[in-house]
Amino acid sequence: MPQISVLMPVFNSAQYVGEALASIREQRFGDFELIVVNDGSTDESSKILRAFAVQEPRMRLVERANRGLIETRNQLLAEAGGEFVAWMDSDDLSHPERLERQVAAFESDADLVCIGSNVQLIDPEGRPLGVEEYPQDHLAVRAEQERGAGLRFPSTMQRRSVAVEAGGFRHPFRIGEDLDFLLRVAERGKVGNLPDFLYSYRQHLLSTCTALGINWPQICKVILGLADERREHGTDRLQRGEEIELPKVGGDEAGKLIPIVLLDWAKGAQSVGDRDRALRYTLASIRNSPLRGASWRYLAKQLLRR
């Protein structure tokens, strides 16, 4: 079996999936299999995936009816045969040295169970929006995890045996399933991040975080509470077969994050010196929510700088 299984869930990402696939094909480290589960996409994703699979013998494509992200991630993990599993979102980019650097980290530390990296943020067109820098040391990562951070999930690689032992991904989380998973992985050994920028994380308005993230603070609190239960009792409610309730996102709430996201993009573009793009995103935020004072205040700051 190949040393690494790269695992990519796909659902309606035709606009970006070709670039994501190409970024894996162009890895310097070649001993991998690429497993893709197309979770019932209704756009052109299937056509793109099938064409790529014909050209890339290391790719294994599974296509089926839609079952949702939890089932898709767990199926990917079950299909994996490599010693290591590397996650990859279908709208992002892995830098060419990503797999090579992460495997080297595992080979130099037998206690390591999960490694991520620093991340370049990009906008829908792939233009830079600043960076995310993560702690490298295990204890520092664990401290950040207790605040709901510490690792950017799709940049991570785990030992497959540990990922399976941790129990995979769990309902009822529609967002935060990755944090819940990574916390359980980190309870089984050392975790860390490489200091290099090995992953580009794409921001766009159709992302799950934008659609469902309005209740993230409450959901994150539940996930961290489950981790507290495991520390205190050895298991949590889900592991004991109990149910938990999460706040629901209604139709009126689903778009509430859009002006906030657009303003974040404006600040990201400003941070890399692209003042024109920053202004465009600020104006888009205002158009989306004309009464939002934060967007107008940031517009005033931009105009004063010119």
**For 43-70, b where at least 16 C-beta lie within 10 A, e where not — what string?**
eebbebbeebbeeeebbebeeeeeeebb
Tell me the fold of 4-202. Spore Coat Polysaccharide Biosynthesis Protein SpsA; Chain A (3.90.550)
pLDDT tens digits for the chain (306 residues)? Answer: 899 999 999 999 999 999 999 999 999 999 999 999 999 999 999 999 999 999 999 999 999 999 999 999 999 999 999 999 999 999 999 999 999 999 999 999 999 999 999 999 999 999 999 999 999 999 999 999 999 999 999 999 999 999 999 999 999 998 999 999 999 999 999 999 999 999 999 999 887 777 677 888 999 999 999 999 999 999 999 999 999 988 876 555 667 889 999 999 999 999 999 999 999 999 999 999 999 999 999 999 999 887
Q: Write out the two tokens for 22.
A: 């190409």
Q: Which of 136, 126, 143, 130 minimizes the C-alpha distance to 101? A: 136
Q: Which residues of the chain does CATH 3.90.550.10 include?
A: 4-202
Q: What is the pLDDT of residue 256?
A: 84
Contact 265, 274 (CB under 8 A): no
Whether this model's pTM surpasses 0.75: yes
Q: What is the pLDDT of residue 49?
A: 98
